[in-house]
Amino acid sequence: EDKVVQSPLSLVVHEGDTVTLNCSYEVTNFRSLLWYKQEKKAPTFLFMLTSSGIEKKSGRLSSILDKKELFSILNITATQTGDSAVYLCAVASSEKETSGSRLTFGEGTQLTVNP
């Protein structure tokens, strides 16, 4: 059974702090790892990582994948109150590269950034 585990489940920081969110996985037919941000409704897509060691960056957010040790981290620097959300890690798997993937999600990390 595919499994994705995120830690911590909850985190409270002050504005300006740097946070690291963790995601480990056990998945057959791994294709990619994705990070989403969920505020109230729809999860919004942040990153997709397919190769080890290549850091993806978008402003203050960055993420890296280790396919040997089966984990990923999401870093957020200089946090702002608008970063408060649930951050979801998901792993995509599929038997064939040409077919679509199914996602297995972790429980999410609830991040609260206080002013």
**Among 74, 83, 101, 111, which residue sits at the site for another protein (rule: CB under 8 A)?**
101
Q: How many residues bind another protein (CB under 8 A)?
A: 30
DSSP 100: P
Q: Which of residues 24-53 bind another protein (CB under 8 A)?
A: 31-32, 34, 36, 41-45, 48, 50
Buried b (16+ CB within 10 A) or exposed e, 10-33: ebebeeeeebebebbbebeebbbb
For residues 106 and 6, give the distance between their C-alpha atoms in angstroms, rounded to a whole number: 6
Q: For the window 55-94, what string marks contact with another protein as x by the rule CB under 8 A?
A: ---------------------------------x-x-x-x
From residue 71, alpha-carbon distances to 23, 81, 109 in Å are 5, 27, 15
Tokens for 44?
Answer: 């919004």
* 99/115 with CB nearer another protein: 99
| Interface residues toward another protein, by CB under 8 A | 4, 6, 31-32, 34, 36, 41-45, 48, 50, 88, 90, 92, 94, 96-108
